[in-house]
A = this chain, B = another copy of it.
Amino acid sequence: MPGTDRNTAAAPPALNPGTLNPEELAHIDAWWRAANYLSVGQIYLMDNPLLREPLLPEHVKPRLLGHWGTTPGLNFIYAHLNRAISARDLDMMYVMGPGHGGPGPVAAAWLEGTYSEVYPHISQNEAGMKRLFTQFSFPGGIPSHVAPETPGSIHEGGELGYALSHAYGAAFDNPELIVAAVVGDGEAETGPLAAAWHSNKFVDPMRDGAVLPILHLNGYKIANPTVLSRIDADELDSLLRGFGHEPHYVEGDDPALMHQRFAEVLDSCLDRIQEIREHARSSGDSTRPRWPMIVLRSPKGWTGPKTVDGLPVEGTWRSHQVPFAEARENDDHRAVLEQWLRSYRPEELFDESGSPVPEIRDLHPLGERRMSANPHANGGLLLKSLHMPDFRDYAVPVEVPGTGQTESTRVLGTLLRDVMAANDSTFRVFAPDENNSNRLGAVLEATDRAWNAEILPGDDKLAPNGRVMEILSEHTCQGWLEGYLLTGRHGFFSCYEAFIHIIDSMFNQHAKWLTTTNDIEWRRPVASLNYLLTSHVWRQDHNGFSHQDPGFIDHVVNKKSDVIRVYLPPDANTLLSVADHCLRSRQYVNVIVAGKQPQLQYLDMQSAIEHCTKGVGIWDWASSDQDAEPDVVMACAGDVPTMETLAAVELLTARFPDLKIRVVNVVDLMRLQDDRTHPHGLADADFDALFTTNTPVIFAYHGYPWLIHRLTYRRTNHKNFHVRGYIEEGTTTTPFDMCVLNSIDRFSLASDVLDRVPRLRDVGAHAREEFKNALIRHRQYIRTHGEDLPEVREWQWSPAAGTTNAVPNEPLREPV
C-alpha cells in the first residue's frame, strides 16, 4: 500500500527519518495552521477575524461560497515548497489544478506579504484580515477560485484539466524554473489532464525547467469517489510509471508524521531533479529521465470538522465545498465553526495587531522567490518583444492580381522560420501533428521538433531541444501554449479549422483570463494567443464532412470584444502582414483563417499592407463602379470566397459590361461591427461609404453566413445584405463542388446578383440560364472525371474584367 515508500527505482535516495528538526516542524506546522485558519475565515467570516470575541451570527457571511475540501492540501504543499525554496534558493512556481481551492493561495499570498503589496487595503493586520475574509466570494470582492486576481497564479483552475499542460508550458525554455503542479484526483479523470502526463516526452533537461507533479489523492469529487483513489496501489503505481514518472508516496492524516514524510519526499524529489539537471548539463546528454513525482494521499477537508449533524465530513465528499451551511442561523453549526477555527490556535499565529507573528511572517522566501511574487506567474513582467524580421522581405511578387498559385501558409512558414531563429528561447510553434501538413515546414530549418523519446534513423527533425511542439492533442498544445504565454513568452498555434473546436472551452477560459487581467493593474500584458486555422472548411474535400466546421469564429466573437480579433487574409502578402501584426500584439486572442492549398494571389506587398491597415476596403482593380454609385456590392471575406467573388465579377462584367460592381474585401472581420461594439468596428458613416445605404450586397463569407448578419444587423443597409457561406453541406468531393453545394460558387453568386439588382431584372434571363447550365455541366463533369472542370481549376483573374467606361444607370442590355 502507498504510505510507505514504494519507490523501487534502481537507486532510491536515502531518506532521513527526521528531515525536520523540532523547530522546523513547529514552524512549518504553524504556517500551515495559519494558512488553514485564513482559508476557513475567508469562506465563513465577515467580521471578528481573530475571534477576539465569541462568534456571533453577524460575523458569519449570509451566503457561504467556496471550496474547503482541497484547500488544506494545497496549503500543506505550499508550506513545504516554501521551506525547500528557502533552503535551496529555488526559482519555483505553483500551479494548482484544483483551482477551486482559491482561499489557500490567497491566504499564502497574504502571509507572504505579497497580497498587501498589490492590494494595499488588504493590509497585514486585523483590519486587513477582516477585509481579506469579507472580500472572498463576496460582491465587489474576489472570485472563489485561483483567479487572475490571485498573485502567483497563472491557472484559474475553475475548469479542471489543464494543470499539467500549463505547468509544462511554463517550464519550457526556463531552465532554472521548477513548476510544482498539483493534480487533483478529480481533475485526473479529465481527458486533457490524462493526455498531458506524456508532456515529459517533450522536455529537455538541458534547455527546459522541471515540472514536479503532485497527484493529490483526497478521494472524492463533488459527490463521488475518484477513480485514481480507488484502484489498487499496484495499478496506480504502474500507471504513473507508465506515464514516465518515478512516484513517491506520502499518505496519512497525522500532521506531524505527514510533515516529516512530505519534507523527506520533497527533498528527495528535488535532489533528483538537481541530479538530472547536473547530469544533462554537464554531459550534454538530454536522454529523458524518469522524472520524480509525488502522490499525496490525505483526507479531503483535512483538519476540518470530523462530523457535523452526525454525518462524517472530514475525509468525505461532504467537505468538497462549504462543509456546513448554516453557521449564521444555526447555533450548533456556528459552534462547530468556532471550535474549528480555534483548533488552529489563532492566538499563537497572529499578534496583537493581527499581523502574523514573526515565526510565520518570516517563514517564506524573499522577494521574487516567494511563489506569490514569482515574476514567471505575472509573465508580462518578463515579456520582451520578439525580434521580428521585416515581413515585407517575404513578399510574394504579384504583377497581376488574381493570378499565380502560391501556398500562402508556406510563405508564412518562411517568416515564422526566421522569427524562430531570431528568438531562440522565447518563441515556439504548436500544432497537433500538423505543422508540415499546414505548410509551415520551413520552421524546421531553424529548429527541430521537440522530442525526447526514442529516435530512429529516418526520423525527421526530432530533438529534445526542438521548439516545434507537436503532439496529437489539441488540448495539450493549447495548454502548453497558454502556460508559455502566461509566463511571458510568445507562440503560434496552427490547427485544422474544424478541430480547433476541441479547445473551445480552453479558449473560453483564456479569453476570460485576459478580460479579467485587463482590469488588474499589477498584471502586466502578455503576448497574444495566435491561431492559424488552416486546412479549412472549403478545402476539406479530402477528409469530408467531419472536417468541415468554420464555427470557431462564431465561438470566439461571443467573448469580450477587447480581447478577440479575427482575420481572414485572402492571400500570402495579406497573411504576412496580419501575422506580423498579431505576433507584435498583446492581450488578444488572434484568429487567422487562411488556406494552405495553392491559391491565387491578389495584392502586392504595399497594397497588402494598406489593405490590412484598413482591414476592409474596396478593390478598385476588380470593381467597375468608378466614381459612381454601384449597382451591387460584392463583398468577400476569406480566400475561397474572394476567388469565387472575383470569378463571379468576371462572369457578370463579360455579360453586362455596363454593370457597376463594387468589390469589397474584408480582412479584419471585426471591422463589420460598429465602433460602439468593437474597438476595430467601423463608424456607421465609414461602413455606409463602403457598403452603401441602399444597394444590394452579395456577401461571400468563409464561415456560417448568419455571423455576417449578426455583425451587421444594426447597419443602415443591412436589409440588403445577402450572405453566402458554409451551410453544413459537404462531403468528400472536389474543391469547387464544395462551393457549389453551399451556393457560394461563382455561378451562384452571379445568379444572386441577377436576382437582386433591379437593373438586371429584365435582362438577366439568358445569363441566369447560362449559369444554371454551367452548374449542371460541372456536376456531370465531376461525377465522370472526379475533378473540377479545367476552366474552373485553372481560372485566373483577367485584368480586362472589372473595368468599364460606360455611363452608370443607363439601361443594361441582354448579352448576345
Q: Which A residues fall within an 8 A CB radius of B?
A: 46, 61-63, 65, 100, 134, 137-145, 147, 156, 158-161, 186-187, 189-198, 201, 221-227, 230-232, 235-244, 312, 316-317, 433-437, 449, 451, 453-456, 458-460, 462, 470-476, 498-499, 501-502, 504-505, 508-509, 512, 515-516, 541-547, 549, 551, 554-555, 558-560, 704, 706-707, 709-710, 713, 718, 728, 731-734, 737, 782-783, 785-787
Indicate if the CB atoms of A472 and B190 lie closer than 8 Å: yes
- Docked CA distance A504–B141 (Å): 32
Q: Give the nearest-CB partner of A731 in chain B.
A: B143
Which of these, B187, B224, B316, contacts A470 with CB under 8 Å?
Answer: B224
Could you list 10 A-B pairs, sorted by A, with CB under 8 Å?
A62-B786, A137-B732, A139-B737, A143-B545, A143-B546, A158-B546, A231-B244, A238-B241, A501-B505, A504-B555
**A242 touches which one: B100, B158, B242 (CB < 8 A)?**
B242
Quick check: A144 and B737 within 8 Å, CB to CB? Answer: no
Interface residue from B46, B143, B476 paired with A786 (Cβ < 8 Å): B46
Contact yes or no, B504 A501, CB < 8 A: yes
Q: Which of B197, B225, B317, B554 contacts A554 (CB 8 A)?
A: B554
A588 to chain B, nearest CB (A): 15
Q: Give the distance in Å from the alpha carbon of A315 to the alpha carbon of B668 in the complex.
A: 44
Q: How far is the CB of A67 from chain B (nearest CB, A)?
A: 9
Q: Which of B63, B139, B238 contacts A783 (CB 8 A)?
A: B139
Within the complex, the shortest CB–CB distance from A764 to chain B, in Å, comes to 23
Which B residues are CB-close (under 8 A) to A710? 706-707, 709-710, 713
Check A454 against B160 for contact (C-beta < 8 Å): no
Whether A544 contacts B191 in the complex (CB less than 8 A), given A223-B433, A558-B728, comes out as no
Which of B455, B543, B731 contacts A100, CB < 8 Å?
Answer: B543
* A713 in contact with B718 given A100-B543, A189-B195, A498-B508 (CB within 8 Å): yes
Residues in B neighbouring A156, C-beta threshold 8 A: 546
Contact A544 B147 (CB under 8 A): yes
**Cα of A138 to Cα of B781 in the assembled complex, Å:** 12
Most B CB contacts (10 A, CB to CB) among A63, A156, A231, A515 go to A63
Distance from A111 Cβ to chain B, minimum over Cβ atoms (Å): 22
Which residues of B lie under 8 Å from residue A143 when comparing CB positions? 544-546, 731-732
A556 to chain B, nearest CB (A): 10
Docked-complex contact A502 and B501, CB < 8 angstroms = no
Question: How many copies of this protein are present in the complex?
Answer: 2
State in angstroms the CA–CA spacing of A449 and B226 once bound together: 13
- Contact residues in B for A451 (Cβ distance below 8 Å): 224-225
Nearest to A198 among chain B residues (CB) is B227
- In the bound complex, residues from chain B placing their C-beta under 8 Å from that of A728 are 512, 515, 558-560
**A547: chain B residues within 8 A (beta carbon):** 158-159
- Whether the pair A141, B498 counts as a contact (CB closer than 8 A) is no
Closest to A63 in B: B787
Tell me if A230 and B138 are in contact (CB < 8 A).
Answer: no
Write the nearest CB–CB distance from A558 to chain B, whole angstroms. Answer: 5
| Min distance, Cβ A443 to any Cβ of chain B, angstroms | 13
CA distance A230 to B198 in the complex (A): 12
Shortest CB-to-CB span from A161 to chain B, Å, is: 8
Q: Which of B316, B449, B508, B543 contacts A224 (CB 8 A)?
A: B449
B231, B455, B706: which contacts A453 (Cβ < 8 A)? Answer: B231
Taking CB atoms, residues of chain B closer than 8 Å to A317 are 460
B186, B195, B462: the one contacting A225 at CB < 8 Å is B462
- Residues of B near A239 (CB, < 8 A) are 238-239, 241-243
**Cβ distance A330 to chain B, nearest Cβ, rounded Å:** 17
Q: Contact: B221 with A433, CB < 8 Å?
A: yes
Residues of B within 8 A of A241 (CB): 235, 238-239, 242
State whether A786 and B437 are in contact (beta carbons under 8 Å apart), knowing that A473-B189, A713-B709 are contacts in the complex.
no
- Within the assembled complex, what's the spacing in Å between the Cα atoms of A707 and B711? 11
Q: Judging by beta carbons under 8 Å apart, are A471 and B189 in contact?
A: yes
A472 contact from B221, B434, B458, B544, Cβ within 8 A: B221
Point out the residues of chain B lying under 8 angstroms from A235, CB to CB: 241-242, 244
B residues in contact with A224, CB < 8 Å: 433, 449, 451, 460, 462, 470
Given A238-B239, A239-B242, A433-B224, CB of A512 within 8 Å of CB of B192: no
State the Cβ distance, A96 to closest chain B Cβ, in Å: 14
Bound Cα distance from A402 to B158, whole angstroms:
34
Q: Is the CB of A782 within 8 A of B140?
A: yes
Determine which of B142, B434, B707 lies in contact with A732 in the assembled complex, contact meaning CB atoms within 8 Å: B142
